[in-house]
Structure 1
Amino acid sequence: MKTAEIKRRFLAHFEANGHTAVPSAPLPAIEDPNLLFINAGMVQFVPYFLGQQAPPWQRAASVQKCIRTPDIDEVGKTSRHGTFFQMNGNFSFGDYFKERAIPLAWELSTNAVADGGFGLDPERIWATVYLDDDEAVDIWLATGLPRERIVRRGKKDNYWHMGIPGPAGPCSELYYDRGPAYGPDGGPEVDEDRFLEFWNLVFMQVEIANVASKETFDILGDLPAKNIDTGMGLERMASILQGVDNMYEIDEVRPVLARAAELTGRSYGTRSGQAAHESHPDDVRLRVIADHVRTALMLIGDGVTPGNEGRGYVLRRIMRRAIRSMRLLGWQDRALPELLPLARDCMAPSYPELRSDFDRISSYAYAEEDAFLSTLRAGTTILDVALGETRAAGGTALPGQKAFQLHDTYGFPIDLTLEIAAEQGLSVDQEGFRALMADQRARAKADAKARKTGHADLSVFRAALDAHGPTDWVAYTDLETESRILALWADGQPAAAARAGDLVSVALDRSPFYAESGGQESDAGELTGPGVRAEVLDVQRPIKGLVVHQVRVLDGTLALDDRVHARVDPEWRLGARQAHSGTHVVHAALRHVLGPAALQSGSYNRPGYLRLDFSWRGALSEATRSEVEEAANAAVRRDLPVAVKYMTLPEARELGALALFGETYDETVRVVEIGGEWSRELCGGTHVQHAAQIGPLAVTGEASVGAGQRRVEAVVGIEAYRYLARERDLVARIAEQLRAPREELPDRIAAMVARMKQVEKELAELRARELLGAAASVAAGARDVNGVAFVGTEAPEGTAANEVRTLAQEIRGRIDASRPATVAVVARAGEKASLVVAVNAAARSRGVSAADLVKAVLSGRGGGSADLAQGGGVPAAEATALVSAVEKALAGA
């Protein structure tokens, strides 16, 4: 049974039993400060379990995309670990509990395939329950499961939580006996390879905090209602129903693994003398490739792009592990163009958007691989120099600090460092490397632990929401409201009042202020009342439904229950609306000029200014920039109407509305249209009513912000007028200084630049003649060193590299050719010094080599031939010492 069919049957079973099928949330955990990625099927339902929000349905079912990366280094070593997986789940929010959850799981698992079930043999199913959960035992017995196949286990195995503060509860897990070929008999406690867990039924009933481990946490109390949260691993079930050993061999993964094996000439499933419980290194690498390529596809598909922080860093690491593994298996070419399309074809039956969006996905992936291959080339060069320095110093092991620097600074994998070092007869101080890595991990864990206080940090806001309900937020319609102060916080703690000079956070019952979201900066304004005035500095939504204002009290005292007049600065809002609508217009103009692949990946706008990041490879030419700017201003000039519509997410997608990747949307979404289909995007920002209200739009810059990603910046409205005025004044001043009409400026400036280049060329030629003219006198000063005429000199500061080489060769030519001769010329350029060594034929016949001398003096840096070599990179202060070093090396030759 194909994986996509398993998914379909799961949702169909629960829909037939009164559940609403809920789409998977995007992989980035945007709404939860504790998580980078969704790591469990129930994450998007946490507010319903905690009672923070009323669920739209009493019963739900989903197939949630998940990412788990804490044990990423274990991926491939066993058949269990993977980064991306899919979790089928059914959920009850205060509706049914154990009495229905257990039979629903049993029915789907054991019903015949012809009846829509999975057709598992009921005689091979085992169940585990929490130690004292007699109720669950009784329900399992009622289904027909014999007592001897029901196992009681402790918190480590049968108490579920997310590893962070939140909902939790005892659970009951289902296991399938795969037969004696997989291990000994005796149930899950004896062998969990033979007895494979495929479904976990969590009886969500308490809220926990202070989570220290799987078994150590505090129970705060009962949840508002008893809930059901189940998780059936889609890949686990696929491996059972497809009769394969593990997740790497199912239909959604095996084709990528098989292609990687074919490209590298390796076979999968070999042991080669390994212990029975170990995997062959080739198998490990092939699993890493298959898992990580699929994971990268899904992450980029959900809007994550490679980067150096947060989610982007995780994606980059995953991609580089896959690329590195291909290299370690012997594949030296680009790998992702061979593998990523296969992963797309495997996953598209369940996620058709991967096929329609593949141009964008692949552009990011292929650009990242190209960048990493460049890193590998550069890292190899740096490593070669480091290994040369180690040998020159008489060492036998590359220092751990150098290996860590290559790994941490340059992204050069330790596996390759070990491999290349071994090829050159050296080892690596792995203990030192591991110690530095451990320090780095400790810092990362400390940071993660600090992040895990997110639920606790938000508890004060949740208390306000529970006490007063959601904010009546009217930013789309009003700039002023009469409001009441519901809550005050100072330094994150509840406060009763704030006085002049205090910086506090405030919750109002009604607010006209736009809270920062979707790239739009929050509104500015003020709160005023009898004898009190406060400046609104920032507006955020720390939790859904609650708008919190950061204010500075300017006069008087601000206290709980005060009545205040909340007023948005109208000029600020006007500029913000112009900038946000301008962002949509620039996005549409980019897609009009460049095509649909130029899709927005992020944006930021504040009054008068906007920037937009979009997927594109290569810089935009000046002509293309002008074309984009003209297309945007044409929309403004045509005064295209701006309309806001509300609809369901499927309706918006069917209409062709563009969504910002990585954002989480509710069932009902807000669609902003400018000129109908000319620009149609999901957006929660504030906008103008007609395009002409944006005012003039001027593109001020365009640059790269990462592999396959560009950024365009622009100003609108009065800021565009000011920008164009400054440009006009600048042109006027240049025209005045050059005493030329404006229309002649390009030609005049081009002629000046050409003349300057010609003068620089003439000066260089003059300096070269002077240097060569002095060559005879310098050569005359040659002194004997170990039977070789040696000349050491320093070129005038600023001498070009090619001129230094020419000077060294000219001096060498002025020495009698029958006399062995070596010439060393050093030059300073800024804070660095370089060295050129030239050796004539008579000296080479005695075994003197220019390349050997340069490498000896510069500890392996530099290179060339036996007659002419060069190197550099040393401090300028060491220039004179370089000449002496060459002389000493020659004396010892």
Structure 2
Amino acid sequence: MQTAEIRNRWLKYFGDRGHTVVPSAPLVSDDPSLLFVVAGMVPFIPYMTGLIPAPYPRATSVQKCIRTNDIEEVGKTPRHGTFFQMNGNFSFGDYFKEQAITYAWELLTTPEDGGGLGFRPEDLWVTVYKDDDEAIALWKRIAGLPDERIQRLDKDTNYWSTGQAGPAGPCSEIFFDRGPAYGVDGGPATDDDRYVEIWNLVFMQYQIDNVTSKVDFDIVRELPNKNIDTGMGLERVAFLKQGVDNMYEIDEVRPVLDRAAVLSGKTYGANHDDDVRMRVIADHVRSSLMLMSDGVAPSNEGRGYILRRLLRRSIRSMRLLGVEGPTFADLFAASRDAMKASYPEVETEYDRISRLALAEEETFLRTLAAGTTILDTAVDETKTASKQELKGETAFLLHDTFGFPIDLTLEIAEEAGLTVDRTAFDRLMSEQRARAKADAKSRKTALADLSVYSAFRAQGETVFTGYDFLNTESRILGIIKDGQSVDRAVAGDIAEVILAETSLYAESGGQDADEGSIVGRGFDLEVLDVQKPVKGLISHRVQVRSGEVGVGDEATSVVDPTYRRGATQAHSATHLIHAALRQVLGPEAHQAGSYNKAGYMRLDFNWSNPLSLDTRTEIEDIANAKIRDDLEVTTRILPLDEARAAGAMALFGEKYGDEVRMVDIGGPWSRELCAGTHVSHSSQIGLINLVGESSIGSTNRRVESLVGVDAFRDFATERALINQLTSSLKTPREQLPDRIADLSTQLKVAEKRIAEFEAAALQTRVPSLVEKAAPVGALTVVAEAIGQVKSTDDLRSLVMSVRERLGQGSASLVALAADVQGKPAVIVATTQGARDAGAMAGALARTAAGILGGGGGGKDDLAQGGGSDLAAIPAALSAIVDAVRG
């Protein structure tokens, strides 16, 4: 019975009995405490706890689930999988134990031709909570089970709760006995693989409190509405009904395993370690496919990290099977074809899924190539020194330099019988993070050691006059060069200058520093950066363009008016975009950071999902409408509490003094705490052109915009491009999309025809290749390099045509090598006579691939290999001939 058929029978059985059929929820859980849906009942928890009234009295579902807490057991046992499907039936105060047990027994034991699952009653055992006499009596009456096939177990296995105060209740589990060939007698209590749990019935009937552990809590009272929560493991039932030994061999998983065997040239069932690796690949590829179909993408945190780990464990397992090249194109396609009957979205979304998977594979293969050599050498050196622990420094080098994940280092070390010094690794990681923070600060400010500023700060705060003036006369309080306080600086020097007053804005609040100069009698200083090294003090990093400047000299700070105008436009635009975001998305779209400079702004905000094109357009339209409305921009200095009471937005984590500067644009529509420079009316911003929106983490998004003149220039560039296209294509602007689509279609047709011509031309080489057949030992061999071909498919087709021309009745071997897109490839094909003589294509392809600097494999009759060294093609073909001769 196919897995999809079991699924359909389940839903029909309970649907026919008044249960609302509920589609599977996505794998990504709405519960903030869970990364994924880990059980079939998770989407129904609000109904079970009474948090939300249930919309139906009874329901059924087949829920997609992901669990990775037992990831190390995958492939080693018959039932551990990271992705699984849980068939559930639920009652929310409707029916209870008697009906739940009746449903379970009836569906399991009804013959297949009667719509049931056809299990023999004598093969089924049940466990119950040790004190649940009611359930025991029901099992005896409804199922007719004898006492010896009903086992009482304790709270650790047969009592369900959330681990917190709330609903809870005893469980009853149904097990299938696979027979004495699979283990010892004694029932489920033996915890032996012979007995496979297939169904768990949770009787949620009590309110518990004072919970200190899974088995230590107080039962406070019975629930007024008793619930039923059951789960039948779809994969477990499938492997029992399909007569295979484990869940990796069922119809929805086995095709990936078989494909891994073909790609590696291994035989499933021949070697235990290889079997485990193939099962890991089959499980992890399917899990990754399902995660990506629900929108999860590989990353370094949260859900994305778990996905990345599954993908990388698959790649690592393929390497341990001897395949070093990319395999995801084949493996994911096999999983797609196996799963699409149950989940059509894996096919409709496959292009996106495939792009993610192949990109991750390509990246990680580069990582492995660089890191594995170092790690293997370190493992050998550790063993040679008779040590059991790999140095933490080595693990850190791999992580820091090559991006080699620590969990993979741990895994490879464990396979070699070693541990890793995690204490040293964690210490080095902490030191690196501290250095990174210090380096970033140093690169950003390029300021001297902070102690040098103490004397200048003691003279008072730097007065910032830039809100009102672009030029301010002052005097030089100090000069710092190479971290030391000095009296003067001369032409060509780079130094820091401290002024008593300045009109130049120091970088802060997301706004970049002003551009400008500092001038005085006999000197001209170009301002490179303006920062606040200590609170209340502004330092100007300058290069002396001419003259000589000394402490005490009179000086004037001069802001570049064009730059300042652009900066104020960009900062005010940031406020407009923020207000527009909140208007469209709601108050939860809160600013999480920003950066703006003349002509450009970016805004980070709390949001999990990408913004649609329509949403982005709406945000942009609102912001530009506010520009056209010529809103007044006002600033006020007032107490922090008063500003917050007025509704001013404050950045989370930002420190504010007792008094703050509040900026209003159009009154309360945009009201934020901000120390930046702004326009006086919104119309002065000119134009906002929202050019980008992207993810910067699992819960944060980023929008980017050009502002003012830069926005106009970008539109002008686009207009010029459109004009060029309309002229070149002789097509009116409004018809350009259709015209370009037509050209694209024509191009694809032309490319297809070219490919057909090239393939046909390649086939004309068959006679000349056949003529080059020569005896090698007992075989007839064609071993030739044929130059460049477009794809390995073309090369394979040519090899098979030559073999066919030589005749399947002959003892013949064909090995052709070519330059495929700049990389060497070799394909080997054998006839039955050649195989009878001992010539196996898979082994010969691996031999050649080793010389080409890569890997390969396949079946005995047809196999391929590849590498990176084109110059090694003649040697690879010679190696095949030598192997045949030998």
* TM-score relative to the length of structure 2: 0.53
1:644 corresponds to which of 631, 635, 638: 635
Equivalent residue runs for 1:171-570 within 5 Å: 368-381=301-314, 383-384=316-317, 387=320, 398-400=376-378, 404=395, 407-408=399-400, 411-414=403-406, 416-419=408-411, 426-427=416-417, 457-466=449-458, 468-570=459-561
Alignment of structure 1 residues 46-65 onto 2, 5 Å: none
Among candidates 808, 814, 822, match of residue 823 of structure 1: 814
In structure 2, distance between residues paired with 1:365 and 1:389: 25
Helix, strand or coil at the partner of 2:301: helix
Deviations 1:653-701 (A, max 9, x none): 6665444445433344434333445434333211122222111112334
1:832 deviates by: 2.2
1:791 corresponds to which residue?
Answer: 782
Q: CA shift at 1:798, angstroms?
A: 4.6
Cα gap change, 1:381/1:781 in structure 2, threshold over 3 Å: closer, same or farther? farther
1:733 corresponds in structure 2 to 724
Instruction: Note if 1:686 corresponds to 2:660.
Output: no
Distance 1:857 1:590 in 2: 59
Letter in 2 for 1:876: L
Where does structure 1 lack aligned partners over 5 or more consecutive residues? 1-253, 257-327, 336-361
SS at match of 2:808: coil
Report the counterpart of residue 582 of structure 1 in structure 2: 573
5 Å-filtered alignment, 1:82-121, equals: none
Contact map agreement 1:379 1:406 (CA 8 A) in 2:
no
1:279-319 superposed Cα distances (whole Å, 9 cap, x missing partner): xxxxxxxxxxxxxxxxxxxxxxxxxxxxxxxxxxxxxxxxx
Question: Does the 8 A contact of 2:448 with 2:482 survive in 1?
Answer: no
- Percent of aligned pairs with the same amino acid: 41
Cα distance change of structure 1 residues 368 and 442 upon mapping to structure 2, 3 Å threshold? closer
Distance 1:378 1:367, change over 3 A: closer
Classify 1:376/1:634 alpha carbon distance in 2 versus 1 (closer, same or farther; 3 Å). Answer: same
Distance 1:851 1:371 in 2: 36
Quickly say closer, same or farther: Cα 1:865–1:630, change in 2 above 3 A.
farther
Is the partner of 2:868 in helix, strand or coil? strand
Q: Distance in 1 between matches of 2:591 and 2:820?
A: 44
| CA distance in structure 1 between the aligned counterparts of 2:736 and 2:843, rounded to whole angstroms | 54
One-letter code aligned to 2:628: R
Report the equivalent of 2:841: 850
Maintained 8 Å contact 1:500/1:553? yes
Determine if contact 2:476/2:553 at 8 Å carries over to the other structure. Answer: yes
Once the two structures are superposed, what CA deviation does each residue of 1:604-658 show, in whole Å capped at 9, x if it has no partner? 2211122334455565554444343323322222333434344555665666544
Over 3 Å counting, the alpha-carbon distance change for 1:738 and 1:448 in structure 2 is closer
Q: Which residue of 1 aligns with 2:138?
A: none
**Change in CA separation of 1:708 and 1:452 when aligned onto 2, cut-off 3 Å:** closer
Counterpart Cα distance in 1 of 2:649 and 2:479: 38
Deviation at 1:449, TM superposition (A): 9.4
Secondary structure of 1:797's partner?
strand
1:876 to 863, 867, 870: 870
Deviations 1:200-231 (A, max 9, x none): xxxxxxxxxxxxxxxxxxxxxxxxxxxxxxxx
Residue matched to 1:72: none
| TM-aligned CA distance change 1:502 to 1:372, over 3 Å | same
Instruction: Indicate if the aligned counterparts of 2:828 and 2:863 stay in contact, CA closer than 8 A.
Output: yes
- Residues 835-884 of structure 1, C-alpha deviation per residue, up to 9 Å, x if partnerless? 33333444445554433333344357344433333343423333333333
- Structure 1's 690 and 411: CA in aligned 2 closer, same or farther, altered over 3 A? same
Q: Which amino acid aligns with 2:304?
A: A
Q: Which moved more, 1:733-742 or 1:401-410?
A: 401-410
Residues 44-90 of structure 1: per-residue CA shift (max 9 Å, x gap): xxxxxxxxxxxxxxxxxxxxxxxxxxxxxxxxxxxxxxxxxxxxxxx
Query: Which structure would you say has the larger RCO, counting Cα contacts within 8 Å and 6 or more residues apart?
Result: 1
- Name the CA distance, whole Å, in 2 between partners of 1:848 and 1:616: 60
Equivalent residue number for residue 753 of structure 2: 762
1:763 deviation in Å?
A: 0.2
Tell me, in whole angstroms, the C-alpha distance in 2 between the residues paired with 1:867 and 1:587.
Answer: 64
Q: After superposition, where does 1:606-625 map in structure 2 within 5 Å?
A: 606-614=597-605, 620-625=611-616
CA separation in 2, counterparts of 1:796 and 1:437?
A: 52
**2:848 touches 2:865 (CA, 8 Å); kept in 1?**
no
8 A Cα contact 1:334 1:369, kept in partner: no
Paired positions, count: 535
Rounded Cα–Cα distance in structure 1 between residues aligned with 2:654 and 2:520:
38
Per the alignment, residue 278 of structure 1 pairs with none
Distance, in Å, in 2 between the alignment partners of 1:759 and 1:452 is 55
Sort the Cα spacing of 1:515 and 1:422 in 2 relative to 1 into closer, same or farther, 3 A: closer
1:543 Cα deviation (Å)?
0.6
What is the CA–CA distance in structure 2 between the aligned matches of 1:567 and 1:854, rounded to whole Å?
A: 73
Cα 1:438–1:685 change in 2 (3 A) is: closer
1:666 is paired with a residue whose SS is: coil
CA contact 1:363–1:615 (8 Å) conserved in 2: no
Return the alpha-carbon distance in structure 1 between the equivalents of residues 428 and 656 of structure 2: 39
Q: Which runs of 5+ in 2 are unaligned?
A: 1-162, 166-279, 288-294, 325-372, 381-393
Kindly provide the amino acid, as one letter, of the partner of residue 630 in structure 1.
D
Structure 2 counterpart of 1:712, from 703, 722, 734: 703
Distance 1:881 1:728 in 2: 57
Q: 1:648 to 1:769 in 2, by over 3 A?
A: farther
C-alpha distance in 2, partners of 1:374/1:861?
26
Give, in whole Å, the separation in 1 of the partners of 2:779 and 2:588: 66
For 1:525, the aligned partner's letter is G
CA distance in 2, matches of 1:560, 1:821: 92
Is the 2:518–2:527 Cα contact (8 Å) retained in structure 1? yes
